[in-house]
Amino acid sequence: MTAGVRITPSLVARLVVLAGAIVFFALAPLFMSNFRQSELVLVGIYFIAIIGLNIVTGYSGQISLGHGAFMGIGAYTTAILVTKYDVGQYWTIPLAGLIAGIVGFLFGFPALRLTGVYLALATFGLAVAFISLAQSTRFEGYTGGGGGLALGVPTTPYYLTWSIALGMFVAAWLLLRGRLGRRLRAVRDAPVAAVSSGINLALVKAIAFGLAALYAGVAGSLLVIRTGFVNYLTFPVLLSILLLTGAALGGFGSLGGVLFGALFIQYAPGLSATLPHVPKESAPSVMYGVILLIVLFLMPGGAAELVRRLLGLLKRLTGPRYSRRTGERVVS
Amino acid sequence: MTEFWEQIVAGLASGGIYATLALALVLIHRATGVINFAQGEMGMFSTYIAWSLLYTYGVPYWGTFAITLVISFFGGVLVYLALIRPLSRGGDIAIVIATIALLVILNGGAGWIWSPEVRSFESPFPIDRIEIGGVGISWQDLGTILVSIACVIVVFCFFRFTRVGLMMRASAQRPGTSRLLGIRVTLMLAIGWGLAAMLSAVSGMMAAPILTLDPNFMLIVLTYAFAAAVLGGIDSPVGAVAGAYILGVGISLLGTYWDYVTGAPELELPIALAVLLLILLFRPAGLFGRAVVRRV
Amino acid sequence: MALLELRDVEARYGQVKALHGVSLSVADGQAVSILGANGAGKTTTLRAVSGTVKKTGEVVFDGKSIGRRSPEAIARLGIAHVPEGREIFGELSVWENVCLGAVTRRGWRDARRECERVIDYFPRIAGRRGQQAGTLSGGEQQMLALARALVSKPRLLLLDEPSLGLAPKAVRDFYEIVAAMNRDFGLTVLVVEQNATIALDATEQTYVLEVGRVVLEGPSEELQRHERVRASYLGY
């Protein structure tokens, strides 16, 4: 069976947008201050994390409120390897992703037997538990307890982050177009049929979860490299919440919306202000919540819905299509 | 041995706080099929309102308690009518996001209006302890236990023996058919949310004297309440309450008798959650939930 | 005097039109049936009356136009709709199910007396009040749904395919009670059925629907002998 790609106007449009985005991000640092670049690094980090979240929530339909915890696992992996074992920080990135991914897979296997509600709660619990564990004096030897671990000088790994982001974006795109993606969608849309056609539900769900955790782990690793520091406050419950809302705003099931979600998290007057990377202020989070609600009311499908509508418009503008098989007009 | 019983009592007291909130969660879930992630924050916000009544306006404690409950009731109704009902068309995820947005707004809002510094909140119960059978029990613990049990009993009686309670149960089970019987379903569901908000307020006001008041103080309570509700079976009020008391006592004993945890109270939550996950593996519907036959 | 009148009612589910201009009338105290195959629009017609489907056209009950009202309001006017599939509250007890029919009545105390009175009409379930309604058999559940509807002392009873999934004896028992209500208390009945035989026997007037339109109407007795009805719905 061929994995051919149909050339449609919408595909072309998306590739054009992608190319434009690549050009923008490639050239941006030439025109930007270091501060802005650092902000964009954060956007890239969120971007990677949200791609992962999208896989689990958008494509296989499971709500995860614990994504911050997996970012944390990746971050601490990197931090521990760098501070205790003197590994070069950039080499730790894939390892961080791998370990987070394995933990995610192992967590996912039992946890995903739970239905939606239970899973959301379990992942919420994971986010909360992670903070307790990171803070705990029992593990101080590894985690530095309340004080955390310091890597050294903060950096602005702009090109590294965005190259990884691009690479992982393409990887996700390919994966989701292929067998895994079809299986995930089957699991999401018609679980009974999926099982009848031989798909091992638990395995597929766990793989999706593990994959998502892997992405989060990589993101977390990059985060700690950027900030040069990590402790139990770096990944509060609010971060997991932010990631989920970012993914939702982008519109689940659409990789294109992910970028929107990442940008939203960073720049919406808001909750980003209460994260440890930036000074605290309570009012902005109210703003964030309100904006979130407004978007929810106007566009329950998120940015992806907007994009889909635009693409629909594009289809109409490029003329009707006729089915090769029956010769009739195709109305989509 | 007396220490054992004292820990049991302490566990029942914290269990009572979780039970009240867990009951609210189950109520909402049974009525509208929604997990209200903002339930804890609603309780937190109510507690702040109570704080203002107590310390800024000098209203005596039980008057504050009553007024806060009334305000919370209408708050819950408002949340349902303005937020949840309009968004139910958007699907499950839209509602989850909505309650999360509400969590964020309430959390930030409380910090904004009252400033995020930690404050104390008085307890209506005397500080001293009494002795029953050689076991020392604080009035605080005893009072908390009694209040939470009272809440549970009142809620149960309300649903089982009143007309409105029956209509609410019907509305939760089959809203369409209930309408055909002339039941004003929307009103019933709104009342349900109001009741849940009242329960959250009670939980908050019981927890505040112990945990001290700040915008985040209910997040841990919420997590334990979730765990209790899930442990007991998310649609079973009996289960949630039982689960909460079991959880409270279990954690209390854990903290006392397991050395690993004794010096590190922050491990209580992860361990509790790990145990919960384990239990769920073998009994996916919780200890008392009906096994939902999921074909897949 | 027509208790219920539908004039040119059109109804749709999303993009699909289910009723293409249905007109019918039910006189006070009459028993009327609507026949038709699956998908003919019978259930939709009842929904148009009880207010649970989007529609255009007029629905007049007791001289009042009820087309715009909510289902709750319509129920409170005295229209009891027993939906397809019975829709009883499985988790509640038999007694609670019956009492739910009376929740909207003003006096709660004499509403409960009414519950007692009605449930005695249904010996099969009267003895099981404490039982969970979900444990009753299909026939018993149908009885329960009927009892629930009767407790509200309706003026118009809408029955949607009550015979569905029931054994023949259960169907006969059911219709006996309905007939008694109609005969002795003047309860107006509009019943929708696929089981044409029993419907034609139990009612005075019948409408036949096909693809959302009324194609035949008349006294049930006459329609029983009508060629088309015999061929399509009675099988002989």
Cα angle C194, C198, C203 (rounded to 5 degrees) comes to 100
Sorted by sequence, the CB contacts under 8 Å of residue C194 that are 6+ apart come out as C35, C36, C37, C38, C42, C161, C163, C164
Quote the CA–CA distance of C68 and A68 in Å, as a whole number. Answer: 50
**Predicted structure pTM score:** 0.83
pLDDT digits 0-9 by tens, A58-78: 666 677 888 999 999 999 999
Pairing label, strands C31-36, B129-132: unpaired
8 Å CB contact of B83 and A293: yes
How many CA within 13 A on the CB side of residue B31?
27
Any idea what DSSP says for residue B53? I
SS3 of A199, please?
A: coil
Q: B–C: how many Cβ contacts below 8 A?
A: 61
| Domain spans, chain A | 9-320
Say if CB C41 and CB C211 are below 8 A apart.
Answer: yes
Q: Per residue in B247-292, pLDDT tens?
A: 999 888 888 887 777 777 778 888 888 887 777 777 766 676 665 5
DSSP assigned state of A113: T
Q: Which CATH architecture has domain A9-320?
A: Orthogonal Bundle (1.10)
Residue-wise over C154-163: b if at least 16 C-beta within 10 A, else e?
A: bbbbbbbbbb
Give per-residue pLDDT as tens, A144-166. Answer: 776 777 777 777 788 888 889 88
Taking the CA of residue A287 and the nearest CA in chain B, the distance in Å comes to 8
Choose from C103, C108, C115 for mutation: most chain B CBs within 10 A.
Answer: C103
- CA C103, chain centre distance (Å): 20
Closest CA to A243 of A212, A265, A269: A265
Taking every pair of Cα atoms in chain A, the longest distance, rounded to a whole number of angstroms, is: 71
CB-based touch A/C (3+ pairs, under 8 A): no
Residue C161 falls in which region: left (phi positive, over 0), alpha (psi -120 to 50) or beta = left
For residues A132 and B266, the answer to whether their CB atoms sit within 8 Å is yes
Residues C3 and C63: their CA atoms lie apart, in Å, by 7
DSSP of chain C: -EEEEEEEEEEEETTEEEEEEEEEEEETT-EEEEEE-TTSSHHHHHHHHHT-S-EEEEEEETTEE-TTS-HHHHHHTTEEEE-TT----TTSBHHHHHHHTTTTSS-HHHHHHHHHHHHTT-HHHHTTTTSBGGGS-HHHHHHHHHHHHHHT--SEEEEE-TTTT--HHHHHHHHHHHHHHHHHH--EEEEEES-HHHHHHH-SEEEEEETTEEEEEEEHHHHHH-HHHIIIII--
Question: Rounded to whole angstroms, how far apart are CA atoms B168 and B192?
Answer: 7
Distances in whole angstroms, Cα of residue C71 to Cα of each of A139, A258, B86, C67: 61, 42, 19, 10
- Taking the CA of residue A265 and the nearest CA in chain B, the distance in Å comes to 13
Helix, coil or strand: residue A178: coil
Phi/psi at A72 (nearest 5 deg)?
Answer: -60, -40
Across C2-41, b (16+ Cβ under 10 Å) vs e yields bbbbbeebbbbeeeeebbebbebbbeebbbbbbbbeeebb
d(CA B171, CA C104): 13
Residues of C with CB under 8 A from a CB of B: 50, 52, 70-72, 75-76, 80-81, 83, 87, 89-92, 96, 99-101, 103-104, 108, 148, 152
HSE, side-chain direction, 13 A CA sphere, residue C177: 24
Q: Exposed, middle or buried, A37 (CB in 10 Å: 0-12/13-18/19+)?
A: middle
Nearest to A136 among B102, B266, B292 (CB): B266
Fold of the CATH domain C2-78+154-234: Rossmann fold (3.40.50)
Q: How far apart are CA A87 and CA A159, in angstroms?
A: 21
Q: How many residues does chain B have?
A: 296
* A154, A94 Cβ separation under 8 angstroms: no
Q: Which of C71, C91, C99 sits opposite B179 (nearest CB)?
A: C71
Side chain identity, residue A112 = L
Q: Is B162 on the interface with C (CB under 8 A)?
A: no
Structural contact between residues A70 and A213, judged by C-beta atoms closer than 8 angstroms? yes
Q: What is the pLDDT of residues C182-220, one digit of tens each?
A: 988 889 999 999 888 888 888 999 999 988 888 888 998
**Residues A140-167, buried b or exposed e (16+ Cβ, 10 A)?**
eeebbbeebbbbeeebbbbebbbebbbe
Q: Which chains touch B (3 or more CB pairs under 8 A)?
A: A, C
Q: What is the pLDDT of residue B294?
A: 45
Instruction: Tell me the residue type at A92.
Output: T
pLDDT in tens, C21-52: 899 999 999 999 999 888 888 899 999 999 98
Q: What is the pLDDT along chain A (332 residues), one digit of tens a residue?
A: 444 556 676 677 777 877 887 888 888 877 878 777 888 888 889 999 998 888 887 666 677 888 999 999 999 999 888 888 888 888 889 999 999 999 998 888 766 666 666 677 778 888 888 888 888 777 777 777 767 777 777 777 888 888 898 889 888 888 877 877 777 777 767 767 777 777 777 788 888 889 999 999 999 999 999 888 888 888 888 788 888 877 877 766 566 677 777 887 777 655 445 555 443 455 667 777 777 788 778 766 665 666 566 556 655 555 555 555 555 555 54
Whether ipTM > 0.90 holds is: no
Q: Does B170 lie at the interface with C, CB-CB under 8 angstroms?
A: yes
Which of the 8 DSSP states describes residue A63?
-
